[in-house]
Amino acid sequence: MLFMFLLFTGILLSIYYAPSESSAYQSIKYIERKVYLGGLMRSLHKWSANLMVVCLVIHAIRVFVTGSYKKPRELNWVAGSLLFIVTLGFGFTGYLLPWDQKAYWATVVGTSMAGTVPLIGHYLTILLRGGPDVNGFTLLRFYSLHVLWLPVASIILLWVHFHMVRQQGISGGL
């Protein structure tokens, strides 16, 4: 349900958002101040995303505590874990989109963490940023991930997850 709500508000926000270095911040201000109910849509999108992460954490804890990840549901646990990672990816990529100072520096720090991976860290950082620095290419890359690639991955993983639940039935828990 939260995914559908985020999809709906995200589509409405994308109508007015401009993913470029020169106009991203201004388009956010335009959405908040000039678009009818734009500020409400942006707030609903942001808070729904936060609530989705909280709900996924609670769901994962319940699955773990009840042992619902055990045979024959191991692959469903893997699909759910991948969905959680994709959801965190949504949060990380969406955080940069307002293109303000807080988002910029959070992305600099977040992408720098990839640089600590042994042997390939430097290449991961460049891959994430689209170059050596956080700039307009990073913004466009994150926007593309946020509105195209991560939703496609989510839909596929949701289908796999729900298909396996339907095939195996709902776990009885403890």
pTM of the model: 0.91
Return the CATH number of 2-168, one of 3.30.930.10, 2.30.40.10, 3.30.160.270, 1.20.810.10.
Answer: 1.20.810.10
The reported pLDDT for the residue numbered 137 is: 96
**Most distant CA pair in the chain, distance:** 55
Rounded to whole angstroms, the Cα distance separating 95 from 24 reads 12
Q: What percent of the chain has pLDDT over 70?
A: 98
Q: What is the pLDDT of residues 71-107, one digit of tens each?
A: 889 999 999 999 999 999 999 999 999 999 999 999 9
Residue carrying structure tokens 């910029």: 104
Domain ranges across the chain? 2-168
- Which helix or strand (DSSP H or E) is residue 105 part of? helix 101-114
Rounded to whole angstroms, the Cα distance separating 38 from 170 reads 39
Average pLDDT over every residue of 22-49 = 97
Whose CA is closest to 171, among 82, 79, 64, 53?
Answer: 64
- Which helix or strand (DSSP H or E) is residue 38 part of? helix 38-66
